[in-house]
């Protein structure tokens, strides 16, 4: 494959464009809104010049990613204000950080699919769509709660009032008013008030029991006295009948019966019984009045204690309902009213679609001209990179061979030098030996001449 040098052309400059568009492309403005939006989804502006008709598509795709990030920031801001009473500066900072993170994530979901064509396109897009759905649900719920905030807060207030009413009823059933029956003692173990014991009514009840006993005795004796008085009156009036004389006037029987009446009235202590009952009635009335005053004070103490428990329950509640409580309330409203359920469902789907739209549009549409050119460019660069790697391997292999050859030559040179030095040493050694042998021969030759 021929690799052209940047700027090198195969024909006149005005007829054949350079292979690399960067040689002839100069953007008009690096800070234009469209260029910035396209940079969010990783669009190569130089490559896009080959398919300018794709520019509006990717501009709107970048706008969708930015809109999703803004929605995420708003959602996080509302969620933080619902849970924590943090300063606005902290809320804004955290919301911006969250929006940037969601924007980066959505940007990656889109950028990672640029230039993907062929059968693996859907397999790559489906996991990214799942991630977008999860992020969309997280973003959509706080925004949906914010839309239904008035209805949610009204329902929460009603629930609070109902809880206070139930608490009052439970305490009132365990501390009933005079004459009312108390609730189940087992249930009342959970509803105890720190109150003094009410005044004892045993004294009044004892007096009432004594008075009832005296009343029964008094009534019985009154009936006996009435019978005796009637018998005496009938006898004295001359009314005939069994046991009566039938003669009017103060006779013996009349006097006897009247004396019997007077004797029974004296011996039966009817007058003392009447006086005793009157005294008991006075005491009972006095104790009843005291008990009524004490009972009113006790009921006022019970009412005040119940009010204190209700206030303590109110004070234990947060000043502003939390996000989880609002979510539960919205779920309850949705379960009760079909209109709220439909609105909640469609709003959630709307926000979900907005967040998933960048990936969803890629999944539903075919690869664009830009995708195909980007795929070609990536393929060319990969091939060029492979060629560069092969060339580098060959260069390194040739360099290794050169180094090996140079090393071999050096070894041969060293071996030749060593051989030369060894030859010189052998020659010198042989010359020395010859010299010694010559000296010996000379000495032997001069020996007999000296003897003659």
User: Which parts of 148-251 fold into alpha helices (H)?
Assistant: 149-174, 185-188, 202-237
Query: Is the torsion defined by CA of 35, 37, 43, 48 positive or negative?
Result: negative
Nearest alpha carbon to residue 69 among 32, 109, 113, 105: 105
- pLDDT at residue 124, as a whole number: 73
Residue-wise DSSP of 68-83: HHHHHHHHHHHHHHHH
Find out whether 359 and 109 touch, Cβ atoms under 8 Å.
yes
Residue 176: per-residue pLDDT: 75
Which tokens sit at 431? 């010359």
* pLDDT value of position 29: 62
Structure token pair of residue 340: 């709220």
Tokens of 183: 């609730």
Q: What is the dihedral of CA 216, 219, 223, 225, to 10 degrees?
A: 120
Sequence-distant (6+) residues with CB within 8 A of 168 are 306, 310
Cα angle at 106 between 104 and 107, to 5 degrees?
60
Give the span between the Cα atoms of 60 and 37, in whole angstroms. Answer: 8
Distance CA 296, CA 90 (A): 54
Prediction pTM value: 0.51
pLDDT at 419: 84
How is 356-400 classified by DSSP, letter by letter?
A: HHHHHHHHHSPPPHHHHHHHHHHHHHHHHHHHHHHHHHHHHHHHH
Distances (CA, A) of 359 to 43, 129, 355, 363, 401: 15, 6, 9, 6, 53
How many other C-beta atoms are found inside a 10 Å radius of the C-beta of residue 42? 17
CA 149 distance to own-chain centroid: 18
- Give CA–CA dist 209/284, Å, rounded: 11
DSSP letter at 2 equals: -
Contact between 27 and 12 under an 8 Å Cβ cutoff? The reply is no
pLDDT at 93: 92
Beta strands in 106-164, from DSSP E residues, in sequence order: none
Distance of CA 98 to the CA centre of its chain: 16
What is residue 100's predicted lDDT score, i.e. its pLDDT? 92
Q: Over its length of 452 residues, how does the chain's per-residue pLDDT go in tens digits? A: 333 333 333 333 333 444 444 444 455 566 788 888 988 888 888 888 888 888 888 898 899 889 889 988 988 888 887 767 778 888 899 999 999 998 898 888 888 888 877 666 777 778 877 888 888 888 888 888 888 888 988 999 999 999 898 888 888 888 777 656 666 777 777 777 777 666 656 777 888 888 898 888 888 888 888 888 888 888 788 777 777 777 777 778 888 888 888 888 888 888 888 888 888 888 888 777 776 767 677 778 788 888 888 888 888 887 778 778 888 999 999 998 898 899 989 888 888 888 888 788 777 777 888 888 888 888 888 888 888 888 888 888 888 888 888 888 888 888 888 888 888 888 888 888 888 888 887 877 765 554 44
Distance (Å, rounded) from C-alpha 387 to C-alpha 375? 18
Which of 256-261's residues contact partners 24+ apart within 8 Å by CB, and which partners? Answer: 257/228, 257/231, 257/232, 258/232, 260/228, 260/232, 261/225, 261/228, 261/229, 261/232
Angle between helices 88-111 and 120-147 in degrees, nearest 10? 160
Q: Given this model, what pLDDT does residue 10 score? A: 38
Instruction: State the pLDDT at residue 266.
Output: 83
């Amino acid at each position: 494959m021929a690799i052209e040098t940047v700027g090198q052309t195969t024909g006149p400059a005005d007829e054949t464009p350079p292979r690399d568009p960067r040689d002839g492309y100069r953007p008009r403005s690096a800070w234009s809104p469209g260029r910035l939006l396209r940079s969010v989804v990783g669009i190569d502006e130089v490559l896009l010049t080959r398919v300018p008709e794709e520019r509006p598509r990717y501009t709107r795709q970048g706008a969708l990613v930015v809109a999703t990030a803004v929605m995420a920031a708003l959602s996080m801001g509302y969620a933080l204000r619902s849970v924590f009473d943090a300063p606005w500066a902290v809320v804004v900072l955290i919301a911006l950080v969250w929006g940037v993170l969601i924007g980066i994530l959505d940007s990656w979901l889109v950028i990672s699919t640029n230039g993907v064509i062929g059968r693996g396109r859907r397999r790559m897009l489906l996991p990214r769509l799942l991630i977008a759905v999860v992020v969309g649900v997280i973003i959509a719920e706080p925004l949906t709660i914010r839309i239904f905030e008035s209805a949610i807060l009204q329902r929460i207030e009603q629930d609070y009032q109902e809880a206070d009413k139930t608490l009052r009823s439970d305490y009132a059933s365990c501390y009933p008013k005079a004459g009312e029956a108390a609730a189940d003692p087992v249930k009342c173990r959970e509803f105890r008030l720190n109150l003094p014991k009410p005044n004892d009514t045993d004294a009044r009840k004892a007096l009432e029991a004594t008075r009832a006993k005296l009343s029964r005795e008094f009534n019985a004796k009154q009936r006996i006295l009435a019978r005796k008085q009637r018998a005496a009156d009938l006898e004295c009036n001359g009314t005939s009948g069994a046991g009566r004389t039938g003669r009017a006037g103060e006779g013996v029987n009349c006097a006897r019966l009247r004396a019997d009446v007077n004797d029974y009235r004296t011996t039966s202590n009817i007058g003392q019984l009447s006086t005793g009952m009157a005294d008991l009635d006075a005491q009972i009335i006095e104790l009843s009045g005291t008990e009524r005053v004490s009972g009113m004070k006790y009921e006022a103490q019970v009412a005040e204690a119940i009010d204190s428990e209700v206030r303590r329950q109110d004070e234990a509640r947060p000043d502003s309902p939390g996000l989880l409580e609002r979510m539960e309330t919205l779920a309850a409203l949705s379960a009760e009213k079909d209109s709220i359920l439909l609105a909640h469902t469609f709003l959630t789907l709307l926000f979900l679609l907005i967040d998933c739209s960048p990936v969803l549009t890629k999944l539903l549409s075919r690869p664009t001209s830009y995708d195909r050119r980007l795929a070609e460019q990536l393929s060319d660069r990969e091939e060029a990179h492979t060629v560069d790697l092969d060339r580098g391997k060959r260069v390194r292999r040739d360099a290794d061979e050169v180094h090996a050859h140079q090393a071999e030559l050096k070894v041969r040179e060293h071996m030749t030098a060593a051989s030369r030095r060894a030859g010189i040493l052998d020659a010198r050694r042989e010359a020395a030996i010859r010299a010694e042998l010559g000296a010996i021969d000379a000495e032997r030759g001069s020996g007999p001449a000296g003897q003659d």
